[in-house]
Structure 1
Amino acid sequence: MNKILVVDDEESVRYSFTKLLRAPDYQVSGVQNGPEALEKIKRDPPDLVILDIEMPGMSGLEVLQQIKHLAPRIPVLIITAYGSGERVITAMKYGAYEYLEKPFDIPHMRTIIEEALGVGRLMKEEIRVDAAVADWSGNYIIGNSPAIKEVYKMIGRVSASDVNILLVGESGTGKELVARAIHQHSNRLEKPFLAVNCAAIPDTLLESELFGYEKGAFTGAVKRKFGKFEQAHRGTLFLDEIGDMNLGIQAKLLRVLQEGTFERLGGSETLHSDVRIIAATNKNLEKAISQKDFREDLYYRLKVITITLPPLRMRKEDIPELLNFFLAKHRAQLNKADISLAPETMDALIKYDWPGNVRELENVLKRAVLLCKGNIITPDIVAAELSGERSAAGEERGERLPAFIPGKLEDYHGRLYQHVMEEVEKELILAALQAMEGNQVKTAKLLGISRVMLHDRIEKYGIKSKTVIKEE
């Protein structure tokens, strides 16, 4: 049963919505002002609030702010006959799900209501994660910012269909969690969800991991192995870091997407697979296509729908909620129930730009909980992570940064940003390799990337071992 609260000072409007939403799966109630609405939300939280923006006494915008304080996960639809650009901006800033003017189109309004209810359910539901993947029950997409709400909307819109989806976003933005949410809200829910990190598995093993192999296909193949396409039949296969897949495996993947067929390694039997593909990348695949590193036909097969995940620096209003979530998680895991964040620490964490996104935030907080000797995480505990050693290095980098910027900017028209980023990346990899005395395993761990990705960058930039190994 979907509980909907209509807040409008006009009885005729409240009655209209009651009539409009007269259905077995709707329970509609109405109040005539803001204070009554807030009191009802405290007593019996609805699944959706439909709120008039122009009411005597407490305005709709004031009520909206109070609702978002009381119950931030309840979607709110703003309706009014007095629309203006400024009101739209303010309402969306305060967290309104959508803004519609009277008189509105009834079928469109029904669609928006269903969509908002779906997003509300998604924001409140736990995303199921296998025990092998996580040992803590709180696995949610966290946030209530406009940027993350757009992701919720897209999940709600695409989950029920069987189209392939491409998730794009920086490392640590939560691409696998979004993929799991899509699967959980799809018609394939009762079937397997399997994840494969294409960058973490060597090319020689990735093909057999995906497609399986027959006994005797290669040395060590002592028995038949089913690949992920067979294991995930009628379910969802999540291919993370798809941009690191080599061209040979891309060709086999394309065939599965086009025809639904493949063969195991060393086998001749043609097998059929019904699998929904959700792929993810933090790379610019269009650039990879231009450099002949990624197949264009596969790219368009994968990106029927593209969902872009915002970096954490673009949704800083979600950081307090994320911090509270991860604090609760790691207090439970590390048996430190009384630990809390000092207000100054919270401020410092909110101001930080989080280049590693949510993953970095969780790691910093986990370390802080572990190292905290009292009950309060003070700023000095996280200082080394957020500034400390980085500040001195930052000053040195600041002096060197102009060297990466070409003198004649117009010579790099349309690719200036990419040129500078590649120069910086090359210097970073060189510095890390030198620090680890050429040891690629240690360098990859230092950088927080896979060995496959590190090897790819070494090849890309033509870095030679003699240039990185320190002389005794």
Structure 2
Amino acid sequence: MRLRKENILIVDDDIDILELLQRHLKSIDYHTYKAVSVKEALFILKDTQIDLLITDIQMPEIDGLQLLKFTNEHYPEMPKLVVTGFPSVDGALEVFKSGATDYLTKPFTKEELKKAVQKAIEQVAGQRVPKPKSASTKANSYSDMIGESEAFLKVTDIIERVKDNKATVLIKGESGTGKELVARAIHYSGKFSRAPFIAVNCGAIPENLQEAELFGYIKGAFTGANENRNGFFQSAQGGTLFLDEIGTASLAVQTKLLRALQEKEITKVGSRKVEKVDIRIIAATNANLLEEIKNKDFREDLYYRLTVVEIDVPPLRERKSDIPLLVEKFLRKYGVEYKDRLLRISPEALQILERYHWPGNIRELENSIQRSIIMSDGIIDIKDLPDLLKYQIDFPDTGFLPLREMEKEYVKKVLNHTQGNKTKAAEILQIDRKTLRDKLD
């Protein structure tokens, strides 16, 4: 007895064939998803559990063979069935090499389709061996995050422990490390995922408006308050309120936040009526709150209320083994978006990405991949990378040079790379030609 309907993804640029396949499969009790292009199929695969892929081969832009190779690499256990109107021996061999489990030639009957689908699903189900869920397998792709480093697994382990309760969480980490992704993972992977998730950047709200935006206000509370209005706390009722850049909250707002955390109640600006709230607070900061406490810029009692659970999100330089996985994720995302195809990166270019120290963390890596995809003609190579990455200094392994000597070595390296072209060298160094001439003299 089937526990649920299998999800089948059908990919074909012929709308009539797509509709026919969907009608046939629905009539034999399968749940279907349709895609008229590989690009659309990839977005469905990203967000949906698919039990069988049915795809045409000859399609514009990205063809079915590329889709087969991609799914064979990223979804190896998912059966793949090919339907095509252009059968050939060579074509059949290429299809099976690309990972397809069966091959169906157009036109075909409903019964032939039913048998092929059942065979593909049963064949793979028979071969599938249940595997124990190791921490690394589980955490390799978590919500919208990805990684397999020890530092990454520590973060996902804490997420697993807090996702189903409403303990207050403080997420710490440098800018660009993905603190909001961690907050979203806590919310959307737990039992409160159907409730609201409200993200607020405290640093983006003017200090004199923070209290009104967070807690709401009543008509006439201040100039411009022409109606009663709920704040972010009321909007997040029953769910999660994510307060990013919590260190920028004013001391007056910090006092109200402390009461909201202690008493589970708030008061709108201009009102005396107390309102009960049932929300989980997740706060985030890239600042050192302990230093701000010393400087009297942050309340110590609020700090300890916020740190019931603390998550330190590691900078990218401390999880460099995750860089290839992140690069692959961004190549898949932006390759399809910008170039309508799946792109690869050369080993040499990837090595440069792994060597770089990434002061801007994952956000900087993502931006660099986007730029490289736009500049590339196919496989991303060193020439497509931003200049900042291509011309990074390899510091000596033994001893240290004075700053003046290090600058001299770097200028020489850039000139060697540009084959003596001073204009190009000045562009890379981001100085004018006169300054470069002075340094050479």
> What band does the TM-score fall into relative to the shorter chain?
0.5 to 0.7
Distance 1:186 1:335, change over 3 A: same
Conservation of the 8 A alpha-carbon contact between 2:213 and 2:231: yes
Tell whether 2:231 aligns with 1:218: no
Query: Among residues 373, 382, 385, which one is paired with 1:382 in the alignment?
Result: 385
Corresponding residue pairs, total = 281
Give the AA of the match of 1:46: P
For residues 256 and 400 of structure 1, the distance between their equivalents in structure 2, rounded to whole angstroms, comes to: 57
Distance 1:307 1:375, change over 3 A: same
Give the AA of the match of 2:246: I
Alignment match, 1:355: 359
For residues 139 and 386 of structure 2, the distance between their equivalents in structure 1, rounded to whole angstroms, comes to: 35
For residues 42 and 146 of structure 1, the distance between their equivalents in structure 2, rounded to whole angstroms, comes to: 34
Alignment match, 2:155: 151
SS at structure 2 position matched to 1:237: strand
SS at structure 1 position matched to 2:204: coil
Conservation of the 8 A alpha-carbon contact between 2:196 and 2:235: yes
Alignment match, 2:324: 320
Distance 1:359 1:340, change over 3 A: same
State the 1:334 CA deviation: 1.4
For residues 328 and 357 of structure 2, the distance between their equivalents in structure 1, rounded to whole angstroms, comes to: 18
State the 1:218 CA deviation: 2.2
SS at structure 2 position matched to 1:258: helix
Alignment match, 2:259: 255
Please give the per-residue CA displacement for 1:327-349, whole angstroms capped at 9, x wherever unaligned: 11011221341532122111111
Please give the per-residue CA displacement for 1:181-237, whole angstroms capped at 9, x wherever unaligned: 111233322210111111122112222221111122222222222101101011111
For residues 294 and 369 of structure 1, the distance between their equivalents in structure 2, rounded to whole angstroms, comes to: 43
State the 1:43 CA deviation: 4.2
Give the AA of the match of 2:130: P
Alignment match, 1:337: 341
Tell whether 2:170 aligns with 1:174: no
Give the AA of the match of 2:375: L
Unaligned regions of 5+ residues in structure 1, if any? Answer: 2-38, 49-73, 76-115, 128-139, 402-434, 436-472
Conservation of the 8 A alpha-carbon contact between 1:338 and 1:375: no
Please give the per-residue CA displacement for 1:438-457, whole angstroms capped at 9, x wherever unaligned: xxxxxxxxxxxxxxxxxxxx
Distance 1:225 1:185, change over 3 A: same
Alignment match, 1:46: 130
For residues 201 and 400 of structure 1, the distance between their equivalents in structure 2, rounded to whole angstroms, comes to: 46
Identity between Structure 1 and Structure 2 (%): 45
State the 1:42 CA deviation: 12
SS at structure 2 position matched to 1:219: coil
For residues 340 and 234 of structure 1, the distance between their equivalents in structure 2, rounded to whole angstroms, comes to: 44
Conservation of the 8 A alpha-carbon contact between 2:216 and 2:231: yes
Query: Among residues 174, 187, 197, which one is paired with 2:201 in the alignment?
Result: 197
Alignment match, 1:133: none
With normalisation by structure 2, the TM-score equals 0.59
Conservation of the 8 A alpha-carbon contact between 1:173 and 1:358: yes
Conservation of the 8 A alpha-carbon contact between 1:123 and 1:152: no
For residues 313 and 43 of structure 1, the distance between their equivalents in structure 2, rounded to whole angstroms, comes to: 40
Please give the per-residue CA displacement for 1:401-429, whole angstroms capped at 9, x wherever unaligned: 9xxxxxxxxxxxxxxxxxxxxxxxxxxxx
For residues 210 and 400 of structure 1, the distance between their equivalents in structure 2, rounded to whole angstroms, comes to: 53
Larger Rg: 2
Query: Among residues 281, 294, 298, which one is paired with 2:302 in the alignment?
Result: 298
For residues 150 and 174 of structure 1, the distance between their equivalents in structure 2, rounded to whole angstroms, comes to: 15
Q: Alpha carbon RMSD of aligned pairs, Å? A: 3.0
Give the AA of the match of 2:366: E
State the 1:121 CA deviation: 4.9
Distance 1:256 1:323, change over 3 A: same
Conservation of the 8 A alpha-carbon contact between 2:217 and 2:230: yes
Give the AA of the match of 2:300: E
Conservation of the 8 A alpha-carbon contact between 2:292 and 2:298: yes
Give the AA of the match of 1:44: R
With normalisation by structure 1, the TM-score equals 0.55
For residues 281 and 315 of structure 1, the distance between their equivalents in structure 2, rounded to whole angstroms, comes to: 20
Query: Among residues 230, 234, 239, which one is paired with 2:238 in the alignment?
Result: 234
Give the AA of the match of 1:249: V
Please give the per-residue CA displacement for 1:126-146, whole angstroms capped at 9, x wherever unaligned: x3xxxxxxxxxxxx2110111
Distance 1:212 1:399, change over 3 A: farther
SS at structure 1 position matched to 2:241: strand
For residues 390 and 337 of structure 2, the distance between their equivalents in structure 1, rounded to whole angstroms, comes to: 27
For residues 286 and 244 of structure 2, the distance between their equivalents in structure 1, rounded to whole angstroms, comes to: 9
Unaligned regions of 5+ residues in structure 2, if any? Answer: 4-76, 78-123, 394-400, 407-430, 432-441
Conservation of the 8 A alpha-carbon contact between 2:139 and 2:153: no
Give the AA of the match of 1:216: G
SS at structure 1 position matched to 2:287: coil
For residues 125 and 308 of structure 2, the distance between their equivalents in structure 1, rounded to whole angstroms, comes to: 40
Alignment match, 2:116: none
Give the AA of the match of 2:206: P
